[in-house]
Structure formats: C-alpha cells, structure tokens
A and B are shown apart, each in its own frame.
Chain A
Amino acid sequence: MMKKMGMSKKRKIGGAFKMVLLLLLACLWLVPILWLLVTAFSAYPGMSRTRFFPEHWTLANFSRLFFHPDSILQYGRWFFNTLIIALFTCIISSIFVLMVSYALSCMRFPGRQGIIRFSMILGMFPGALSMIAIYFIMKSIGLTNSHVGMVIVYSAGSGLGYLIVKGFMDTVPTSLREAAKIEGANELMIFIKVMMPLCKPIIVYSVISTFLGPWSDFMFARLMLNSGLSKDWTVAIGLYNMLDKSLIGQNFSAFCAGGLVISIPIAVLFVIMQKYYVEGVTSGSTKG
C-alpha cells in the first residue's frame, strides 16, 4: 500500500516536471511569434532595441499595408498576386498529382515499374539546383517576371510528387473498382465516381499542401521576379525587399503586420490539415 502511494506520488511529480519543461520549451518556440504579433501593433515604425512590447499600440500598420501603398510597399497587390499564383498552382498541381497517382496505383501497364523508378531518381534532383536552368528556359520563352511563368514553374513538375497520394490509393480495396467495372464503368468513370469520393482526405491534404507551396515559397519567386517593379512581387519578395537596410527603420512594424496577415490562411489550413498530415505522411512513407 505504502509503495503504491509512493509510486503515484512520484508519477505526479514526474508529470509536473514534464509539464514545466514543456511550458519552457513552448515559450522558447513562441517568443519570436509573440514578438511578431506585438510589433505588428506597434506605433513605432522601426525596430525597437529596448522594448519587447510596444510603448503605444495602433492598427495603423495594417491600414498602411492595405490602404496607403507607396512605391515600394504595395501589400494589397502582392497579396493578390500571391493568391492568384497559389490558386492556379494548386488547381493544376492537384489535378496532375491525382492523375499520376491513379495511373500508377490503379492501372497495370507495361513500363509502369520503369516510370516509378525513373521518377524516383528524377525526384531526387532538388528544385533548388535546376532553378537557374529553369530560369534560363523561362527567359528564353519570355516568361520571367510573369505570373503565368510562376504558375508553370510551380506546377509543371508537380506530377512527380505523387508518392503520398498513391500510397493512399493503394490502400483502397480493388474489389470496389472491379465491381464498378463489371457494371460497365470505364476507367474515367471509376476515377471520378469511385476513387475521388474515397480519396477525399488525401485530396484535402494534397490541395492544401500544393496551395501552401507557392504561398510560402521564397526561392523561385526571388529568382523569377527580379524586375524591381513592386507591383509584380509576391508577398515573400515584397516583405524581403521592404526590410532592405535603408528601409528597415521605417518598415519593421509594417513587415510584422504583413507577416501576420500572410500567416492567417496558413494557420487556418494547417488546423484543417493537421489530422490529414500525420495520416498522409505515415501512410506514404510505409507504403513507399
């Protein structure tokens, strides 16, 4: 009896200790985010050296972002550009990924194994490296500094990212497709009427992740949108450029406000995706 009580007491202390540790870690992770949050409402435009929390609070940074654009800061425009690029990329990429996944998961044809192996090797070639060559190619067809070009860059090769969706489709029992086939459905109908409803969770996952890719991309945007014209930029490039050394003194609070605004859609999508994320990633990695 005594021993048991000792154990549970020990456990309680252990639990409390763990909670304190977690609390400390969470603080560490959230301090920069908190700084972003409070500075976005700061009346002082530059970066304060001495105060973590602003002295005077204001909403002026947000109204400046959307209603008072200047030659550099055109946040509304950037936001719109980013949204359009991300939406079109999302549509095209999702369709590509679903098409490739269905073909490789549900159909058997000569050369299928070859395609899977070849795409795996090709997929290892990091986008970061081909970027200059991609830039060359886009330049030779006149699509740099163009949003159409950006959508092409983000979505054209997306078919290679089929692994996770295919992994999910592999788990759908073949008997369902067989039954539809016996009833006279062709592959197109099976794809749309049978598979799509069953794959809803993984479609949500892939739609969100293909949307977030361009939404939070910096590298390709930096490479492709180099005209120096503020109206062409995406939010990533705009935010980076508005913190240029000469501008940081007048733009830091506005930067924080802009960073906050661009994060809201991500946060919302993340909450939706969280449960799919764990599911999708693990099923993809075990099935290969």
Chain B
Amino acid sequence: MAEEKQIQKKSFAETAFARYFTDFAEAIVRGDWAVRSSLIVMGMGFFKRKQIVKGILVTLAQIAYILCFVLFSIPNLVKFSTLGTVEYQDPKINPLTFEVEQFPYDNSFLILIYGIMSLFLLFVFLLFYVHNVKRVYAVMRDAESGKHVNTFKEDLRQMLGRKFYVTLLSLPTLGVILMNILPLLVLIAIAFTNYDKNHMPPGSLFTWIGFENFTNLFGGKLSLTFGYAFRKVLTWTLTWAVLATFTCFIGGILLALLIESEGVKFPKMWRTLFVIAIAVPQFVTLILVRNFFADQGIFNQICQNLGILDLCKSLGLVSKNAGFIPFLTDKNWTKVMIILINIWVGIPYQMLIATGVLMNAPKDQIESARIDGANKWKIFWKITMPYILVVQGPALITDFVRNINNFNVIYLLTQDVYITQDAGLYKSNAKEVDLLVTWLFRLTQEEQNYKMASVIGIIVFVISVTFTLVAYSRLMKGGREEDYQL
C-alpha cells in the first residue's frame, strides 16, 4: 500500500517535471510570432497585447541581466575553473612617473564567490526566461479566446490581492538565499579547494583539489592525522548530543511533574525561581560558572575546606599531589561537568515546555483510567508518557540536532581554559571536549584552515539532516498523532 503510494508520488513528480518542458515547447510551437519573438526580446509578447509597461519592465530586466552577465559573470566564470592564475605582487613605484602602481591580480576567494553567484543568477534567469515565454503564451490564448487581458494597474492590484503571496514572500526569500543557500553553496565549494593559511587571498591563490580533503579526514590511520582527531571528536559529539538531550528532556518532565504534583503549593512561584536562572544570558552564566569551578576558584576552596578534595584523592578521582579538583581542566572531569552544567542550563526550558504539554494532556483518558483502577505509575507510563512523546517527538529531534551543534556551552566553558594533552589532537587543533562545530570554529579562527572546516561543516550537515529525516519519517509512519488530536 505504502509502496504504491510512493510510486504514484514519484510518477507525479516526474510528470510535473516533464510538463515543465513540454509546456515550454508547446508555447514555442503553438505560439504566434509575438510569443516566439519574446524568446529574443522578452517583452515582445506583452507589447502585442498592449501590456506596454509590463513589456518594458521585462525587457529592462533582460537587458540588465545581459549587462550583468557580460560585465560580471563572464570575467568570473572564465577564471572559475582555475580560481585565478595571476599571483599578487607588491605595489611598485613606477620609475618614470613616480606613482605607486598596483598590478592587477586574481583573488581566488572573490572569483569563487562571484562565480557561484553568477551560476545562481544564471539559473534564476533561466527560470524567469522560461516562465516569461509561458506567461506570454497564456496571455495570447486568453486574448484569442476573448478573455479579459489585465492592464498594468490590474496586475499591480493583483499583487495585493490574489497574488499577495508573491509580495509577501519575495523579500524573505531573498534573505534566505543570501544567508542560507549561498553560504551553503560556498561551504560545499570550499571543501573541494586547498584554501588554508598557506593559500590566503589576496596574498596568494588557492585552487580546486578534488576529494583530497575528504580522504584526509576519513583516511589516515596514524595518530597525527585529521582522521584520528575526527573519529575522536565525532564520538564525543554524538555521545554528548544523546546525553545532553535525554538528561534535559527527562529532567524537564520530572521537574514539571514535581511542581504540578499534588501537595506542592505555589507552583507558579517555583516555576519562576527556575526561570530566573535562564533569564541571565548564556554568555554570562557559562563564563560565570566556569570561573566558579576554576582550578583556583571558589568552589575548589569550598571542596578543600569540606574535605571533598581529600575524599576524591582517596577514591582515586584526583591525582595524589594535586592541590585542586580539575573540574574543567581534566578530560574526564570536564566531560562530566559539561553534561552537568548543561543540565543546569537546559532543564528550566524543558520544564516550561513540559508544563505546557502536560496542561494539554488528555484528561478524560487519565480520568477513565483512574476509574478503572490504574495506579499513578501505570497512568504515567501508559498515557501521559506516550502522549508527551508523540507531542514532543519532533522537538526532541530538533533538540538532538541542536545539541550536536551546541556551540555556546562547549565553547564558553572550555575555550582558553581546557588544554589538550593529546599530541594527535593538538596537531589537528582539536580537543577531547570539542564538538564538531567548535572544532570547525576554532579551525577557522585560530588556524585559518578553511578547507578542513568546510569538510567538517558538510559532514555535520549530512549527520543533522539524516537524523532529522529518518526520525521524522519514523514518527510520521507511527501515525499515532490522531489518537490524541481533539
């Protein structure tokens, strides 16, 4: 059954794709001279139907694009395959005129970005071009069958009426293209270049090197390679994401239940107390906490006074001659502390959300279960918990992906404090407590190793998307959502 549906869906997508081209062909074959001549001058079809302003606008857009293509796209696209060949030279003083001369040089980075922009513009223009021919053909058919052809004023009015969505969506879409799609393309492109501190434009050039960065990251059994660091960081990233997500999720539910449970007075006041902790932004609390647990910090002093330091020593948790507990400087201690501190940061949020979810829990089901004689635990596990999981399932996945990319907690707690003892990791600029994102960030900021950072970026993206898609399709297949919908 499901398979059948899928096939249907696929064939639908295929026909839609094919129709796109057949419609275009039909417009050319069946269109009159005006339609066909708009293949060359895009406004022609509109001129014939007396849509003068629209015709002029479309033609102007065409001219603007052609100018842009000649002046901007061609020079960049020509160099795109090599990313530039002319090296930078220091400006020289011309002995004849005594003026400082700067020879023209290639900036690989600008060529890369402008090249991608040019390709993207070309793609958009082609879409616009095909759409235009179809539009002109549709206008022709309307005119022939005696239907009313809109004037420019009516077209404009439509942009606030039936086609208001175009007006609404155009600016946000432009923003998304600039801030989401374009960076994604640039990131992917850089992963296939040798852009690093030895190839920094404008001083020097960089170029395409194929899959070398990827083989660098996955291959390499030796301990001084990126492969070694990558495996370690990836393992910790996934461990961290699982632990961080579940501890906060469960903790939030438990806290919400505790506050809501009978016998507890002033639930609102309790909730507010916990919310105070998240009213202070993370960059304050996390830096504060990291100083609180510093080797020479106040908490270490308290531990010393209370004899906890000695206790840890006798348990073998701290080396015998240490004068402090290395909360954020030893790799195992740090990992545990990061998880604990993240619980501290995360539970209030989860508690708020869980409270909202619990308020909407199916009360009649719970009531009837109680009448049937189910005890509290049974009700919780059989009704409340499945309900929470169904409602919160998608959010749980989002949280998991967000934790894979939890920059703040890791960076603010460990940057400048934690120093790795592992030579292999040090060589690759990684630390035991790094997530892929913080590693990526520090690779760019401290090492200017953009090529490897981009490869890591792509990998994290693939991981995030895979988890999300798999989990979503599982959840949707379950189809238990309806059971709880009112």
* Chain A residues within CB distance 8 Å of chain B: 11-12, 14-16, 18-19, 21-22, 25-26, 28-30, 32-33, 35-36, 47-52, 96, 99-100, 102-103, 107, 109, 112, 115, 119, 121-122, 124-126, 128-137, 140, 152-153, 155-160, 186-188, 191, 215-216, 218-219, 223, 226, 236, 239-240, 243-245, 248, 252, 255-256, 259, 262-263, 266-267, 270, 274, 277-279, 281-282, 285-286, 288
Please determine whether A281 and B353 come into contact, CB atoms closer than 8 angstroms: yes
Please indicate the chain B residues that have their CB under 8 angstroms from the CB of A51 in the complex.
298
Interface centre among A255, A286, A288 (most CB of B within 10 A): A286
Please determine whether B279 and A263 come into contact, CB atoms closer than 8 angstroms: yes
* Chain B residues within CB distance 8 Å of chain A: 109-110, 113-114, 157, 160-165, 167-169, 171-173, 175-176, 178-184, 186-187, 190, 255, 258-259, 261-265, 270, 273-285, 287-289, 291-292, 294, 296-298, 301, 344, 348, 352-353, 355-357, 359-360, 391-392, 394-395, 401-402, 404-405, 407-408, 411-412, 416, 437, 440-441, 444-445, 450, 453-454, 457, 460-461, 464-465, 468, 485
Please determine whether A18 and B264 come into contact, CB atoms closer than 8 angstroms: yes
Q: A22-B270, A129-B461, A281-B353 are in contact. Are A49 and B284 (CB under 8 A)?
A: no
- Cα separation A105 to B110 with both chains bound (whole Å): 40
- Cα separation A155 to B141 with both chains bound (whole Å): 43
Interface centre among A131, A223, A256 (most CB of B within 10 A): A131
- Cα separation A159 to B175 with both chains bound (whole Å): 8
Please indicate the chain B residues that have their CB under 8 angstroms from the CB of A134 in the complex.
179, 183
Please determine whether B359 and A278 come into contact, CB atoms closer than 8 angstroms: yes
- Cα separation A51 to B56 with both chains bound (whole Å): 77
Please determine whether A32 and B288 come into contact, CB atoms closer than 8 angstroms: yes
Please determine whether A47 and B277 come into contact, CB atoms closer than 8 angstroms: no
Residue of B277, B394, B453 near A132 (CB, 8 A) is B453
Please indicate the chain B residues that have their CB under 8 angstroms from the CB of A288 in the complex.
394
- Cα separation A85 to B287 with both chains bound (whole Å): 23
Please determine whether A240 and B175 come into contact, CB atoms closer than 8 angstroms: no
Residue of A130, A135, A262 near B284 (CB, 8 A) is A262
A-B contact pairs, 27 of them (CB 8 A): A11-B262, A26-B270, A29-B277, A30-B276, A30-B277, A32-B344, A33-B285, A49-B296, A50-B298, A99-B168, A103-B164, A103-B165, A109-B165, A122-B180, A124-B465, A125-B180, A126-B402, A130-B187, A136-B183, A152-B178, A157-B176, A157-B179, A226-B445, A262-B281, A263-B284, A267-B279, A281-B356
